[in-house]
Structure formats: structure tokens, C-alpha cells
Amino acid sequence: MVELFRNIVNIISVAAIPLLIIVFLGWGFFKKVKVYEVFVEGAKDGFTVAVKIIPYLVAMLVAIGIFRASGAMDVVTTLLAPITNLIGMPAESLPMALMRPLSGSGSLGLMTEIMKVHGPDSFIGVLVSTMYGSSETTFYVLAVYFGAVGIKNFRHALPAGIIADIFGMLGAVFICRILFGV
């Protein structure tokens, strides 16, 4: 069942992009849109959008880079460990939960590292990979998406994003404890 589901999603993932391109462009051609001219017209914004993101992403990544490099993560982990112990979250997985919203490459590194130490099929290994799959890099997404349209005041997007992350991590702990629990 899981295997079938995975195969179907795999096929869709592989075929989706060429399929989308041909359906969209083909439909446009069929509707007598001047496909080439309109495509170029739309595509010329690609450069401006990408360049517009730069200052926002620099600001965000530099702050996160400094935070990570300083070893502040260890301090926060030590402070939070008593709380997360109460809900049965293994201490080894706490850095992962903290890193996930901050840095994609950082959490990828942590996941690889933890699996090397504890094994991918251990409870901790399954838990951290579930955590990795349970959320996106919130700070990166916000910087890129808001940066592209020059939004500096994020309003409630950041707290809501962090609440989503917290519940994603708690959900991961909950389901892993039920299914593979110790």
C-alpha cells in the first residue's frame, strides 16, 4: 500500500514538470496566444525578482550564520532540555528541532550526523528524519518570499510560522513515539 503510494507519487514527481510545461504552453498555443512572445515577456522578470531577494537573504542568512557559528545553539539546547524531557523528546533530537526552522543546510547536516551516530533505523534516527520532513526552513522561506516583493514588516507571519514549526516537531515526536516508541 505504502509502496504503491510511493510509486505513484514518484511517477508524478518525475513527469510533472515536462507535463506542466507542455500542457500550459500547448493550451496557450491552442488558445491562439503568441506563446514565444508572451513567454519571453514573463521570463524577463526572472532576473529582477532574483536580484531583489539578495539583500533580504543576506540579512537573514548572516544573522543565522553568526548564531550557529557562535555555539549559541548548545546554550539554548541546555536551557530547553528539561522542558523537552518532560514530553519524552530525546535530548539528542532537540538541536534538530531548533535548527530546522533556521537553516536547511544546518538541519541536513545534523540529521546526517545523528544517523551516523545512532543509525538510521534507531528511534532517534527515525525521529530526526521525520522532523526534517515535518517542516520547512521557516526563516529562509519568509526572507525569500517577502524579499521578492519588498516586504519588510512580516506582521504575524513569523510567530505563526514558528507556532507551525513547534507543532510540526511535537507532531513528529508524538507519532514516532506511538509507532516506534521506546
Subset of 128-147 contacting another protein (CB under 8 A):
129-138, 141-142, 144-146
Q: Please state the closest distance from residue 7 (CB atom) to another protein, in A.
A: 11
**Taking a C-beta distance cutoff of 8 angstroms, is the pair 181, 166 a contact?**
no
# chain residues binding another protein, by CB under 8 A: 106
| Residue 60-79 contact track with another protein, rule CB under 8 A, x = bound | xxxxxxxxxxxxx--x----
- All three cell numbers of 13, joined, read 514527481
For 32, list phi and psi in degrees, rounded to 5. Answer: 65, 30
Give the interface segment with another protein, choosing from 78-86, 87-95, 154-162 (CB under 8 A). Answer: 154-162
SS3 171: helix
17 touches another protein (CB under 8 A): yes
Cα 82 to Cα 62: distance, rounded to the nearest angstrom: 30
Cα 102 to Cα 77: distance, rounded to the nearest angstrom: 14
Q: Please state the closest distance from residue 119 (CB atom) to another protein, in A.
A: 8
Give the interface segment with another protein, choosing from 33-41, 79-87, 88-96 (CB under 8 A). Answer: 33-41
Question: Within 13 A of 2's CA, how many CA atoms are on the CB side?
Answer: 0
**Nearer to another protein among residue 88 and residue 133 (C-beta):** 133
176 touches another protein (CB under 8 A): yes
Nearest alpha carbon to residue 171 among 127, 141, 120: 127
**Nearer to another protein among residue 76 and residue 83 (C-beta):** 76
20 touches another protein (CB under 8 A): yes
Q: Crossing angle for the helix pair 45-69 and 35-43, nearest 10 degrees?
A: 30
Site for another protein in 75-114 (CB under 8 A): 75, 101, 108, 111-112
